[in-house]
Amino acid sequence: MTLQKAQIHQKLHFKNNYLGIGIVCAGLLSAPAYAASPAKIKQAAEGAKHPYLNTLKDLVNIESGSKDLAGVNQMAQLTAARLKAAGADVSILPANDMYRMDDTPEKVGPMVKAVLKGKGKSKIMLIAHMDTVYQKGQLKDQPFKIDGNKVYGLGILDDKQGVAAIIHTLDLLKKLNYNDYGTITVMMNSDEEISSPGSRKLITETAQDQDIVLSFENGGKDGSVRLATSGIGAAYLDIKGRGSHAGVKPEAGVNALTELAHQIGQMQDLSNPQTGLKLNWTVAAAGKTRNVIPDTASAQADARALRVEDFDAVEKKLQERIKNKKLADSQVSVKFEVRRPPLAANDAAIQLAQRAQSIYKNELNLPMTVLTIASGGGTDAAFAGLKSKAAVVEGMGLSGEGAHSTDAEFILADSIVPRLYLAARLIIEASQ
């Protein structure tokens, strides 16, 4: 799922007192005794660049649109094999517990779950998604190719670079003989681009007892990370009336379009700028023939929120408003669905982001922006943070542009080594 970059870059102010925020993130801010030195980690990351590109080429060459079950299953098999080679215990899990939304297909692809067990106590979760927005057959128009610092390919930025980054981060730790973590749990799903109907529950449940969750959506062109995303919801308004001849006997009908106009008119004030809640009616349909009173009408609304409770409140208001009808004989119903919950930055995430900034600045001489204000998009990181106190950081993937584009999606090759280095460093420090 692509994210719009926030336009406001907020300076972070961090607390000096870290008590009560969590042993793992507090440890990140102390001077660690490295089990693997930064120099060795960097050397290993540099050695992983070409293998990473080879893996990425293999992933891009599999077309894996969300509804292409053959494609996403092929992706799952390859991903599982690579994670197993990196030392993980791997399972391919079918999507058996579906949250059905308006556009949810009958079946979705599997999840790949991989677990590495170390000798420490830290619990770390890494997530990415294997599906893309593209239709089968489009790969020929956007094949894998390297052009200088840009590496092109269908779905390469969103999110095959993230899948490859997790595989090679684990492989890097294996080559360093590092296993001082408690567990590293990898979750990769096949339905992120259609709002994760079959994987959201397992992501939420798995994240509940984690210390850190790193999500490998792309870091934008500037390598930023995100600590907050908007929740995404949708409302569906349906009207049933009664058809009749518009010229001969219109009074015999019940005009569903008239009722729809009334309902939308009385639902124009549900947004709340103070809390960040937005509800906008964006799609409507009624009638098929000019001289027939329409017997059905429908509308859809896009909703965004920064708090889960705002979605609950707006759903309640929608149900209350439809009771006020213009045409007594019309039938009005409304359905609300939470496509993604919001992700809010907590203290642990802010501290982890501070450490990531420090690593980038002091060890790689690179800038990193931390976005703490939610923009319009949403990711699976929000499901991970829904019932967890973990430090959740989004945007751990590579830099690039053109997500969801038909001819210009690319990653920047010079972000491979820094991102692999950063992921490994954070895992190692969190496990001290």
Q: Which CATH architecture has domain 231-340?
A: 2-Layer Sandwich (3.30)
CB 165 within 8 A of CB 55: no
Contacts of residue 364, defined as CB under 8 A and 6 or more positions apart, other chains included, come to 418, 421, 422
**Number of other CB atoms surrounding residue 63 within 10 Å:** 21
Strands 183-189 and 111-117: antiparallel
| 192 in catalytic set | yes
Return the pLDDT at 374. 87
Catalytic residue among 63, 68, 131, 259: 131
CA–CA separation, 372 vs 350, rounded Å?
A: 8
DSSP 64-81: -BTT-HHHHHHHHHHHHH
Return the pLDDT at 220. 87
- The domains of the chain are located at 23-229+343-430, 231-340
Question: What letter would DSSP give residue 160?
Answer: I
| 310 in catalytic set | no
Mean pLDDT by 10 residues, the chain (432 residues): 40 37 48 73 98 98 98 98 98 95 96 98 98 94 95 96 98 97 98 97 98 96 93 97 98 98 97 94 97 98 94 97 98 97 95 97 96 83 96 97 86 98 97 90
The burial of 192, by beta-carbon neighbours within 10 Å (0-12 exposed, 13-18 middle, 19 or more buried), is given as buried
Return the pLDDT at 109. 98
Return the pLDDT at 34. 59
Catalytic residue among 63, 171, 192, 394: 192
Residue type, 90: V
- What's the fold here for domain 23-229+343-430? Aminopeptidase (3.40.630)
